[in-house]
Amino acid sequence: MKPEMRRRRSFGRRKVCPFCADKSLHIDYKTPSMLKRFITERGRIVPRRISGVCAQHQRKLQVSVKRARMVALMPYSTTGID
């Protein structure tokens, strides 16, 4: 197989960082309802290749989620049994 053929598969629409798109959206550990969109059902942080968040905002998001976990506004993990 030629290297050109292996490279680039067709991508879908390029994802846009929701925080860059909407400047009014604030990343704050005190608003778990907003952060909830960026964690999985199990409580893990969604990787940015999935969520489309840019690197800068993902870093802020990560810190915020961890802070929110510390004060029990968000779960560390959810097993579903509870």
Partner 1 sequence: MIMGRIYETILIAKPDFDQEGFEKLHARLLKTIGDEGGLELKLVDWGRRRLAYPIDGHRKGNYFYFGYIASPACLKEIHRQLRLNAEVIRFQSITLSKSKPLGAFDFEKERERVVALTPDPQDEEEYGRRDGRDSRGGRDRGDRGDRGDRGDRGGRDRAPRRDDRDGAQTAEKASVTEVQA
- Would you tell me which residues interact with partner 1 (CB under 8 A)? 28-33, 36, 67, 69-76
CB of 48 to partner 1, least distance (A): 23
Cβ 2 to partner 1 shortest distance, Å: 51
Task: Tell me the three state secondary structure of residue 68.
Answer: helix
Nearer to partner 1, 10 or 79 (CB): 79
Burial class (CB in 10 A: 0-12, 13-18, 19+), 67: middle
CB of 28 to partner 1, least distance (A): 8
Residues 45/65, Cβ–Cβ less than 8 Å? yes
